[in-house]
Amino acid sequence: MRTSELGATGLQITRVGFGAWAIGGGGYDGGWGPQDDEDSIAAIHRALALGVNWIDTAAHYGFGHSERIIGRALAGVAPRPYVFTKGGLPEGPGRTKTRCLKRDSLLREVEGSRERLGVEAIDLYQIHWPTPEEEIEEGWSTLA
């Protein structure tokens, strides 16, 4: 499968990746509805077998469920594909999303994502929705 460099990172990624929003399932605002976890794992394995070398997810997808399923799917997979995830939408009361780019919140989100994904390092960490505006600089500084 053809690859392109991701910006100026040196990472060579396939032109098609695996988007894992739907794997988060349902039960939250923006969810795709019920998904079978074993089918999701099989879909990830099939994408990797076809040459895809990166997976995109977010802590918000199923409030961590997508990341946990990816972690299960990648256990023992070598070489591991690049894993991209996002933060800035931590879970609020009653399984609602909140928006927060404060340093302590982002650091908790990064660590939670890393643990759910079962990786020592996240290859690309993105801010999901860069709001609230008054916290953007703090968010960028935290991730720099």
pLDDT digits (tens, 9 = 90+) for 60-99: 999 999 999 999 999 999 999 999 999 999 988 888 889 9
The proportion of the chain whose per-residue pLDDT surpasses 70, expressed as a percent, equals: 100
* Contact call for residues 70 and 57 (beta carbons, < 8 A): yes
Average pLDDT, the chain: 94
**pTM score, whole prediction:** 0.93
Helix, strand, or coil here: 63? Answer: coil
Residue-range domains of the chain with CATH? 3-143 (3.20.20.100)
Helical H runs in the chain?
A: 37-49, 65-74, 103-117, 136-143
Is-contact 74 36, C-beta < 8 A? no
Residue 63 exposed, middle or buried by CB count within 10 Å (0-12, 13-18, 19+)? buried
Mean pLDDT in residue range 105-120? 97
Closest residue by Cα to residue 91 from 139, 138, 29: 29
Instruction: Look up 125 and say whether it is catalytic.
Output: no
Task: Return the residue matching tokens 């077998």.
Answer: 49
Residue pair 55/84 in contact by the 8 Å Cβ criterion: yes
Q: Alpha carbon 123 to chain centroid distance?
A: 10
What are the beta bridge partners of residue 96? 92
pLDDT at 38 over 90: yes
